[in-house]
Amino acid sequence: MELVGKNTVVTGAANGIGKAVAQEFHKQGARVVLADRDKNLLDELATELNTQRPNSALAFACDLSTEQANADLVAASKKFLGFVDLFHANAGVAMGTDLTSSEREWNTSFDINVHAHRWAVKYLIDDWLAAGHGYFVSTASAAGLLTAIGSAPYSLTKHAALSFAEWLSITYGNRGLRVSCLCPQGVNTNMLRRSDEATSPDNGNVVRASGAVLEPEQVAKIVADSVRNETFLILPHPEVAQFVAKKATEHERWLAGMRKLQLRTLGV
* pLDDT surpasses 90 at 11: yes
What global pTM score does this model have?
Answer: 0.93
- pLDDT tens digit string along 94-142? 999 999 999 999 999 999 999 999 999 999 999 999 999 999 999 999 9
**What mean pLDDT comes out for the span 215-220?**
97
For domain 7-238, the CATH class is alpha beta
- Going by pLDDT thresholds of 50, 70 and 90, the confidence category of residue 200 is very low
Distances (CA, A) of 192 to 61, 109, 164, 216: 23, 16, 24, 12
Residue range 149-170: mean pLDDT, rounded: 96
Output the DSSP codes for 146-200: S--TT-HHHHHHHHHHHHHHHHHHHHHGGGTEEEEEE--S-BSSHHHHHHHHHS-
| % pLDDT > 90, the chain | 87
Q: What is the mean pLDDT of the chain?
A: 93
Provide the pLDDT for residue 190.
Answer: 79
Domain coordinates in residue numbering, the chain = 7-238
Q: What is the pLDDT of residues 31-68, one digit of tens each?
A: 999 999 999 999 999 999 999 999 999 999 999 999 99
Long-range contacts from 247-256, C-beta under 8 angstroms, 24+ separation: 247/145, 247/146
Q: How confident is the model at residue 6 (pLDDT cuts 50, 70, 90)?
A: very high
